Amino acid sequence: ATPTSIMVGTGRAAELGVLFRKGQALQSLRDTQVVALDKTGTLTKGQPELTDLQLSSAFADAGDDSVLALVAAVEQHSEHPIAKAIVAAAKARGLTLAEPTDFQSLSGLGVVANVAGHKVEVGADRYLNQLGYDLSVFFATGEQLATEGKSPLYAAIDGKLAAIIAVADPIKEGTPQAIDALHKLGLSVAMITGDNRHTAQAIAKQLGIDTVKAEVLPEGKVAAVKALREQYGAVAFVGDGINDAPALAEAEVGLAIGTGTDIAIEAAEVVLMSGDLRTVPNALAMSHATLRNIR
Ligand code: ADP
Ligand code: MG
């Protein structure tokens, strides 16, 4: 395409709320075979809410509130949307949160800290498994929550399994229509997420997403993009988080949600001005129309 055609294309794109950081992106979009999307904050609102809390028998006497207060105290120092959901739920119950010490965040796994003399560990099943906890008492509950599209988490206090907690992150307005439109353009649609496999599959099924890469650690997102390329061809990756930056850079074209983190925007060729994913099929359709008209 000529530089003029690219300018025409990028001008039209700006009207659609799509910003091109590189002119090359118009052609990369046109050549896309599969659109891969991050789940949290991209397909979903990224503002989960706490939906369930169930204590293990060892903590039944302690009660929901005292366990939630300890867990939320740790999560105060995490930037993760899950952490914000837990803190908000604790505050809504009027709980006082102590100041944690020795806070540590393990990317894609969970968090740990000391709170009021107690060691508190919270995170994904694989994190607690790694720490040596036996989660089998919560196995059926975890499966059930995941089938409902909720994300199960586990908390341990002073070396004992204390609770299973679930958060649910609503699907964004526009997401179902965006996926339908991508399919109508003849593209495949994939989800890449660090979340639980069953949760991811439940949400993918609801949305009609073709391929799911779940329980992917942040450093695994690049490998997931490469695997999708092997399977389908050129990849467009859509994401919003710091964790998404390497995958945005790896994809043939990276599309960052403009309301997401600056690090994601820096790594992307295309910025979506709104969080509404309908801009993605619009941009793809436009790339075809523009490059076709010019030739
Ligand atoms: P995603 O953005 O797709 O959810 P992440 O890599 O950020 O992926 O997180 C993967 C998983 O790690 C989460 O689904 C959750 O189970 C766990 N996790 C990460 N951070 C936290 C946290 N602050 N508290 C509890 N669990 C967490
Ligand atoms: Mg995200």
DSSP H or E stretch at residue 122: strand 118-123
Q: 210 an active-site residue?
A: no
By CB neighbour count within 10 A (0-12 exposed, 13-18 middle, 19+ buried), where does 197 fall?
middle
Tell me which residue of 41, 78, 40, 21 sits closest to 196, measured CA to CA. Answer: 40
Protein residue with least CA distance to atom 26, ligand 1: 123
Write down the pLDDT at residue 294: 58
CA distance linking residue 88 with residue 85, whole number of Å? 5
Is 199 near ligand 1, meaning CB less than 6 Å away?
no
Q: Given this model, what pLDDT does residue 23 score? A: 79
291 lines ligand 1 (CB under 6 A): no
Please report the pLDDT score of residue 15 as a whole number.
82
For residue 290, what pLDDT is reported? 85
Task: Provide the whole-model pTM.
Answer: 0.87
Of residues 38, 125, 240, 244, which has the active-site annotation? 38
Which ligand number lies closest to the CA of residue 41?
Answer: 2
Q: For the chain, which domains are there? A: 3-45+171-294 (3.40.50.1000), 49-168 (3.40.1110.10)
> Which residues are within 5 Å of ligand 2 (an ion), measured at CB?
38, 40-41, 240-241
DSSP-derived letter for residue 39 is: I
Q: What is the pLDDT of residues 109-134, one digit of tens each?
A: 999 999 999 999 999 999 999 999 99
Low-confidence ranges of the chain (pLDDT < 50): none
Decide: 224 in ligand 1 pocket, CB within 6 A.
no
Q: Which residue has the tokens 């030739």?
A: 295
